Amino acid sequence: MACSMAEDLVCPICLSFFQEPHMLGCGHNFCLACLRGALPAGQAEGTCPECRGPFRLPELQRNRALGSLAAKVRRWQGDEALLPSGSAVGRWHFCEAHDEPLKLFCCQDEAPLCVICRDLAQHHGHRFLPVPDAAREAQGRLKAYLKHLEKHLKYATEDETDQLKEIEALKNCTEDLVGHISKEFEALHQVLREKEQDIKLMVEKMKEENMEEMEDSLTSLKEEVSSRTATIAKVKAALEMTDQVAFLKDLKELMEQVKEDHQGEVEDYEDTEETSEDEAEEKSDQEENSEEPCKNSNSEDEDDEDYEPEEECHDGDDRVVPVEPYLESFGESLHFETWKEMLEGIKPRLVS
């Protein structure tokens, strides 16, 4: 019972009776001064020293009942200053097995124990120290470690600061790099757009030149069609005339126009009559042996009245302007697949 009361009235941080105890949200109690000392300077938030639960110092409530009970026990025990150093509260720690005060410290097991535990077989041959002496010796060792820990804490704090600077430098570096990449790729896109526009303009220029030739040819062909249509209409009209005198009056002019349209390809009717029979036969033989498929020879007994001009070979390739061959094959000179493979093959080289 005494052991339990002592544990309930002792602050786990300072190991002394509670002074202004405050209860945390997790249910643990600590002295107000101990809680303040456990927090970093200038901060009001921390974690419970026992269960690591979070708490805020301004939100804690004072445990008046616990503080009153601790004060009464202190008065009942007397002034703590009159007790031996380090024993004011230690006297209230009891051995769970023997209910005796824990006055000794086993150096081998590094644990406090009572005088009965000292005489047990498991502690035979061990070195013992009074609790105050063991505490002072342990505190001396801890002080030596404390200097070492503080030195390493200083190094770690400096490294932490440097690491934060490096992180910030990394962010700035990557932001600048990403901006540079965007700028340069936009320049590449602009080059591609300009090249695209230049190629399109080149195609349009070739098209215009080719179209100009085609339109000139088309205009000429339309004029020829119109002229030949008019001539044919005049010839048909002349052939339908019943007034022979009027027909013969206009014949000369009509024949000149016909010959002009045929560009001399139709021989004059009178010239054909003067051709001798031998010459006609010779010409007929030559035409029969000729390999030209478009020429048809006249038979010897062909009636002069049924004369028709020989069939002409129609070859419009010399007048019809075709699509510029280079323009048709221009697309093959644009090696888009090769360009794509080249662009896809570009990879940044990481410098180690």
The answer on pLDDT for 290 being more than 80 is no
Residue numbers of the domain that contains 10: 2-93
Mean pLDDT calculated for residue range 273-279: 49
What does the pLDDT look like over 120-149, one tens digit per residue?
Answer: 888 889 999 998 889 998 988 888 888 888
- 235 within some domain: no
Any idea what the Cα angle at residue 351 is, between residues 345 and 352, rounded to 5°?
Answer: 130
- Number of domains forming the structure of the chain: 1
Crossing angle between the packed helical segments 131-239 and 244-262, to the nearest 10 degrees: 150
Positive/negative CA dihedral, 340, 343, 344, 345: positive
Distance between CA atoms of 221 and 103, rounded to whole angstroms?
130
What does the pLDDT look like over 134-187, one tens digit per residue?
Answer: 999 898 888 888 888 888 999 999 999 999 999 999 999 999 999 999 999 999
pTM beyond 0.75, yes or no? no
DSSP single-letter state for residue 293: T
- 267 within some domain: no
- 43 within some domain: yes
| Residue 38: alpha-carbon gap to chain centroid | 49
Distance between CA atoms of 151 and 165, rounded to whole angstroms?
21
CA neighbor of 259 nearest in space, from 251, 247, 269, 267: 267
What amino acid occupies position 251?
Answer: L
What does the pLDDT look like over 228-275, one tens digit per residue?
Answer: 898 899 889 888 888 888 888 888 888 888 888 766 455 544 454 445
Look up the CATH number of the domain holding residue 39: 3.30.40.10
Residue 84 is predicted with a pLDDT of 37
The answer on pLDDT for 319 being more than 50 is yes
- 57 within some domain: yes
Distance between CA atoms of 289 and 271, rounded to whole angstroms?
24
- 27 within some domain: yes
Residue 264 is predicted with a pLDDT of 46
Residue 300 binned pLDDT confidence (cut-offs 50, 70, 90): very low
**Radius of gyration for the chain, computed over Cα atoms and rounded to the nearest angstrom:** 61
- 126 within some domain: no
Residue 80 is predicted with a pLDDT of 44
- 34 within some domain: yes
- 24 within some domain: yes
Residue 316 is predicted with a pLDDT of 56
